[in-house]
């Protein structure tokens, strides 16, 4: 039975997260519904990365096992069935037929977008943050995170993670036009981790915590000390990477 990887993108504010939650409108629910309608039998997908309510994705993956052989024409048909807030970017065959969309991923990259002056075109696309911040401190906190591998302080309670070990390859703040972005790339991320990293760093940049207190929060392994309050709609799952040669687009 062939296994396919399905690459999607979506506007997170339209969904109650990405993962299936009964009959609630989630990304996976809508994708399963469209696939089932097109193939005329029930199907279930498995996701690569879970995103919370409001979080957007420029790239996320699901895998599915089908008896049918698909070709590229299926992209048009699926997108015609999906809501406007969700689209299938591509479908891939695999060089390893047992590859798992979640566990085969080698790294993921997220971006959190912030702007400082009211802009209706950025509403629920980025976080309005009209406060004075110390940009130099943000650069220091982002750099410090690269020195650590245990991020238990930035994982939501009851996340059921077997380990809090993560390796970050990039952690930096970028000025992009009028926006300030936090970009983080790593081998894996914990539930709520990126939002907690952003929220806690912003508190340091506003003088609510000192740099030494930020370091203590990391080392405390206590999530009650981190700030998870920044909203999901500023966050984008930007990229998921797989081993070279694993994915081949449909002919």
Tokens at 127, concatenated? 């976080």
What is the pairing mode between strands 107-115 and 235-241?
A: antiparallel
Rg over alpha carbons for the chain, rounded to the nearest Å, is 19
The catalytically annotated residue of 52, 150, 178, 227 is: 52
Q: CA–CA separation, 243 vs 106, rounded Å?
A: 7
By CB atoms closer than 10 A (0-12, 13-18, 19+), residue 145 is buried
E strand or H helix that includes residue 199 = helix 193-205
Does residue 52 carry a catalytic annotation?
yes
22 — alpha (psi -120 to 50), left (phi > 0) or beta?
left
Q: How far is C-alpha 246 from the geometric centre of its chain's CA atoms?
A: 21
- The token pair at 184 is 């983080």
Query: Which residues, in sequence order, are CB contacts of 96 under 8 Å at separation 6+?
Result: 104, 246
In whole angstroms, give the CA distance from residue 152 to residue 165: 8
The catalytic residues are 52
């Amino acid at each position: 039975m062939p296994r396919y990887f399905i690459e999607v993108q979506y506007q997170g504010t339209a969904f109650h997260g990405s993962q299936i939650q009964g009959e609630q409108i989630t990304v996976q629910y809508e994708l399963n519904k469209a696939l089932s309608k097109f193939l005329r039998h029930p199907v279930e997908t498995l996701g690569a990365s879970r995103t919370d309510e409001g979080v957007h994705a420029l790239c996320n993956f699901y895998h599915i096992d089908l008896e049918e052989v698909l070709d590229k024409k299926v992209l048009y048909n699926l997108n015609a069935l999906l809501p406007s807030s969700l689209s299938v970017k591509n479908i891939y065959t695999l060089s390893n037929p047992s590859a798992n969309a979640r566990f085969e991923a080698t790294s993921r990259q997220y971006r959190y977008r912030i702007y400082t002056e009211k802009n209706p075109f950025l509403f629920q696309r980025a976080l309005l943050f009209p406060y004075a911040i110390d940009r130099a401190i943000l650069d220091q906190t982002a750099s410090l995170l690269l020195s650590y591998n245990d991020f238990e302080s930035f994982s939501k309670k009851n996340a059921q993670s077997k380990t809090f070990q993560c390796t970050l390859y990039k952690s930096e703040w970028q000025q992009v036009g009028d926006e300030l972005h936090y970009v983080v790339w790593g081998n894996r991320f914990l539930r709520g981790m990126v939002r907690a990293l952003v929220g806690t760093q912003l508190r340091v940049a506003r003088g609510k915590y000192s740099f030494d207190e930020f370091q203590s929060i990391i080392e405390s392994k206590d999530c009650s000390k981190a700030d998870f309050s920044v909203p999901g709609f500023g966050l984008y799952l930007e990229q998921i990477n797989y081993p070279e040669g694993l994915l081949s687009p449909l002919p």
